[in-house]
Amino acid sequence: MDLIYIDPPFDSKADYIKKVKINGQKVEGVEQSVIEEMQYTDMWEKDEYLQFMYERLLIMRELLADTGSIFLHCDWHKNAHLRLILDEIFGEENLRNEIVWHYHDKFATGGKSLDKNHDTIYHYSKSADFTGNEVRIQKEETTKRALRKKVDGKTVNLLDEDGNKIYAEYSDKVIDDVWDIGRTISKNEYVDYPTQKKEELLERVIRYGSNEGDLVLDCFVGSGTTCAVAQKLNRRWLGCDINKGSIISTTERLNRTIKEQMKENLFGKDFKGFTAFKVYNVNHYDVFNNDLQARQLLIETYRIDELSRGDFDGTLGQDYVKIISPNRVLSKMDIAEIIDAIKKNKDLFTVKTASKQKENTFENKVVVICSGAELDVRDFAKKENKTGVEIEIRDIQTDKKELDFKKPTEASISYITKGKTLSVEVKDYYSPLLMKRLELENDGRLSMKERVNIFDYRQAIEHIVIDVNYGEGQKKADTSFNAEAFLHKEKKGELVETAYSHTYERGGTYTVAVKIVDVLGEEYFETHEITVK
């Protein structure tokens, strides 16, 4: 990588939520309500955050080219700690700048403390040989400055024939380490994603730290600003994120960016960036696309009273609850950690039977909610748990309590051929997860007009991607998706176009692949073999 820019979690002690709108026009005179979709939580215990960052920064250093640079975006919450980690990994001598991004347009909060109106961007290089281009910006006012030159090691003013100083007018200047850029995002950039950054900020980073054709990485890609700006600046790019909402926002944004470049005929012989892109799931074995979303669904389904702090996730009556990520099985290590948590929090539990000879027994227990478990977990818990507090394991794979939302998405798609022309149309789409979310959302809404409803299956669809020659020239094990069509909403409130036609240049048998992504990021994928003459 020639340049890495990351805007990771700041340990801000906040949850970041995206308001997901069900597509379609107004119903009964009231605009459709939204579902609040958790994108990520920025709450960390003690040193977890620093360990999280340390491990990833080690990998990023290995990924950097010898002439590469990393720009780490942070704020007052953890910038001092991150500076020390960066010093250790990249070396104090490789700190090039501590850039201050000052935003003048943040709403004033008042109070005794001064308003916090800046972020920090640390620039470290991998070596002394790094890219650092001159970037000039417009001045608010044109200024005059006397021209100077070196004479015998001294700086002197340039004079005209009459002995007067020679002045030059300057309407721009070279950037320094304080960047005064507002936070307000223009309408054409806005993608309705929490923590979205302005393109002007990333443009400055990428122009300064890389050259055309260089490879730029953002592994906390968020709203896709880094990739979109790199694409516009003739750079190659790679974006990663664990959050499905981020991938949807980034994919649609890049698709719009490339379409605009094609309209303006910018893909000439000197263009060194990408003219198309692919989306990959790397080691994606998850049952749920959004771990936070799954956790919240379990809390709501089991009616758990959530706890924001401590070793347990919530309470169920008098019992305490620990939720294991639904994307992995319960392990013996998990049980060992739960036993330690019980010992640490003995004062939370009510004594049922007191004993001097052995451990007390307690009225309340710990309920562990998981999705699958190692074969010997229950036996391990029975033998190792000497706390007197019962550990009850509930496996959602066998517990049928309203867990229909785990079922896969379904779709009905028609494929019609006439001559060399193929017509594909999505006829129906159903997501059990989305319907469960709507049910839970509507439970808290008293007015029928406030409720979120789906009257047309297209309201649930975010976009449809079609590959009309899936797997062409590829090994079966390495088959990737090459989108011929990307069907999405052109304007807010519109429904996705669900039909697409393609005419092949020659007859033959082709494999057509269709991927549907809904408003929650759930996916449906199928392939279908067709023959055209």
Q: What is the pLDDT of residue 25?
A: 39
390 three-class SS: coil
For 395, the token pair is 């496996």
Which pairing describes strands 3-6 and 215-218: parallel, antiparallel, or unpaired?
Answer: parallel
| Average pLDDT for 336-341 | 95
pLDDT on residue 365 = 95
CA distances from 235 to 61, 210, 264, 274 (A): 20, 8, 17, 8
The residue with greater pLDDT, 357 or 169, is 169
Least confident span in 95-104, 278-287, 329-338: 278-287
Whether residue 310 contacts residue 345, with contact meaning beta carbons closer than 8 Å, is answered with yes
Per-residue pLDDT, averaged over 365-393, amounts to: 90
The percent of residues in the chain predicted with pLDDT above 90, rounded, is 47
* 274: Cβ contacts below 8 Å, ≥ 6 apart: 231, 236, 237, 258
Amino acid at the residue 256:
R
- The residues, ordered by sequence, that sit 6+ positions from 188 with a Cβ below 8 Å of its Cβ are none
Radius of gyration of the chain from Cα atoms?
Answer: 28
Looking at residue 17, its pLDDT comes to 52
**pLDDT over 70 for what percent of the chain?**
84
Q: Alpha carbon of 192 to those of 35, 184, 347: distances in Å?
A: 14, 12, 44
Condensed to tens digits (0 to 9), the pLDDT of residues 453-479 reads 778 899 889 899 999 998 876 665 556
pLDDT in tens, 487-524: 887 777 788 999 999 999 999 999 999 999 988 878 88
Look up residue 520 and give its DSSP letter.
T
Q: How much is the average pLDDT of 298-306?
A: 87
Angle at 121 between CA 120 and CA 126, to 5 degrees: 145
| Average pLDDT of the segment spanning 27-41 | 44
* Least confident interval from 97-106, 166-175, 484-493: 484-493
pLDDT band with cut points at 50, 70 and 90 for residue 27? very low
Instruction: Select the more confidently predicted residue: 528 or 471.
Output: 528
Q: Mean pLDDT lowest for which of 40-54, 133-147, 269-283?
A: 40-54
Give the pairing of strands 148-151 and 154-157.
Answer: antiparallel
- Residue 148's DSSP bridge partners are 157
State the pLDDT at residue 368.
96
**pLDDT per residue as tens digits for the range 105-132:** 887 777 888 989 999 999 999 999 999 9
Amino acid at 239: G
175 against 402, higher pLDDT = 175
Q: What is the pLDDT of residue 13?
A: 54
* Other residues' Cβ atoms within 10 Å of the Cβ of residue 15: 15
Query: For 23-52, what is the mean pLDDT?
Result: 54
C-alpha span between 317 and 304 (Å, rounded): 8
Query: What's the pLDDT band for 67 if we cut at 50, 70, 90?
Result: very high
State the Cα–Cα distance between residues 327 and 250, nearest whole angstrom: 24
The mean predicted confidence, pLDDT, of the chain is 85
Which residues on adjacent β-strands are paired with residue 218? 239
Label residue 282 by pLDDT band (50, 70, 90): low
Q: What is the pTM of this model?
A: 0.66
Identify which of 415, 418, 521 has the alpha carbon closest to the alpha carbon of residue 467.
415
Are 518 and 460 in contact by the 8 Å Cβ rule? The answer is yes
pLDDT top residue among 506 and 194: 506
The whole-number pLDDT of residue 226 equals 97
Strand-pair partners of 518? 461
End-to-end CA distance of the chain: 46
Q: How far is CA 204 from the centre of its chain?
A: 22
Whole-number pLDDT of residue 242? 82
pLDDT at residue 28 in the model: 34
- The pair of structure tokens assigned to 377 is 């977990």
Between the alpha carbon of residue 429 and those of residues 30, 35, 56, 238, 461, the distances in Å are 25, 19, 38, 31, 8
User: What is residue 208's predicted lDDT score, i.e. its pLDDT?
Assistant: 98
CA 193 to chain CA centroid, nearest Å: 9
**Measuring CA to CA, how many Å separate 151 from each of 148, 154, 157, 167, 168?**
10, 5, 10, 18, 20
Give the number of other Cβ atoms within 10 Å of residue 334's Cβ.
22
Cα dihedral 467, 469, 475, 476 sign: positive
| pLDDT score for 219 | 95
Q: Say whether pLDDT at 334 is over 50.
A: yes
- DSSP H helices, 302-354, are 332-344
pLDDT attached to residue 345: 94
Query: What dihedral angle (degrees, nearest 10) is formed by the CA atoms of 281, 244, 197, 2?
Result: -10
Q: Is the pLDDT of residue 215 over 80?
A: yes
Q: For residues 83 and 99, what is the distance between their CA atoms, to the nearest angstrom? A: 12
pLDDT class of 356 with cuts at 50, 70, 90: low
pLDDT score of 212 more than 90: yes
Asked if residue 33 has pLDDT above 60, the reply is: no
Q: Which domains does the chain have, with CATH numbers?
A: 3-130+177-263 (3.40.50.150), 136-174 (no CATH), 291-395 (3.40.1350), 407-532 (2.60.40.10)
Could you report the per-residue pLDDT of 151-162, keeping only the tens digit for each?
888 888 888 888
